[in-house]
Structure 1
Amino acid sequence: MFKGFDDEIKVELATKRFEYTFESCWKVLQAALRAEGVNVATPLKCFKEAFKAGNIDEKYEELFVTMIEKRNQIVHVYDFDQAQLIYEFINSSEVINAFENIYSNLANV
């Protein structure tokens, strides 16, 4: 699908942006949960508790598990084809909507 240096740069930038957006997201959720007396140390535990607390709509539960997997893969991606698959996943409207859902729910807290 992608060809050329410009496409490689686009994929690299998007995956790194996803990586730091994901990290920031779970850290903000971690802080919100801590303020409610819930201590979590890992992204998976954080998202599970955030679902219980109503900080994320339940319809995104499986998506966030997949996001954790993709975030972990990004660290070890050395192949453009694999990076491209991650790019296609993170560029989906569902992923964007999931992050917006967290923002909306936390803005109302």
Structure 2
Amino acid sequence: MEKYSRAYERFKKAYRKFKEVIDNPLFSELFKEEFIIEITSKRFEYTYESMWKTIREFLRLRGIERNSPKSCFRELIKEGVISIEYERILSDIILLRNTLVHVYDEKQAKEIYQKIRAKEILKTFENILNSLEKEKP
């Protein structure tokens, strides 16, 4: 349970930091676009990583072993913790994260940045966080 609690707290902190960079209009006034893209991308990546690892620990406490993000997300839906409506956006999030790791082109980085700023991504992270808060592993 302690491992899950630590993972959950990391996910919550990562989510708050990602939300901060998405919701704060001052970032665009204070920093260059290149820096904003980089920090937003890193915070997205960290939120994604901490989210799926928290879900993995949550499932382990229920006696379910899953070792990939996709299988963890599917199992979370199967367990009824989140609804099936999140399946598509979670697939999109996986694709964005996997693409982001291998981006070396500024144009492609900007395109991904625009996608990760989508409110449905932030809303998905928030919903999973809240759902895990309500559920008992």
Same fold (TM over 0.5): yes
Query: What's 2:117 paired with?
Result: 91
Alpha-carbon separation, structure 1, partners of 2:73 and 2:55:
8
Post-superposition Cα deviations, 1:64-91, rounded to whole Å, max 9, x if no partner, equal: 0111111111111001111111111111
How many residue pairs get aligned? The number is 105
Quick one: percent identity of the two aligned structures? 42
Query: What's 2:64 paired with?
Result: 38
Q: Give how far 1:102 is off.
A: 0.5
Q: Give how far 1:29 is off.
A: 0.5
Structure 2: give runs of 5+ residues left out of the alignment.
1-30
RMSD (CA atoms): 1.1
Alpha-carbon separation, structure 2, partners of 1:35 and 1:85:
38
Query: What's 1:103 paired with?
Result: 129
The 3-state SS of whatever aligns with 2:32 is helix
The 3-state SS of whatever aligns with 1:66 is helix
Query: What's 1:14 paired with?
Result: 40
TM-score (norm: length of structure 1)? 0.92
* Amino acid in structure 2 at the alignment position of 1:36: R
**Which of 62, 68, 74 is 1:48 aligned to?**
74
* Runs of 4+ with >6 A deviation: none
Q: Give how far 1:57 is off.
A: 2.2
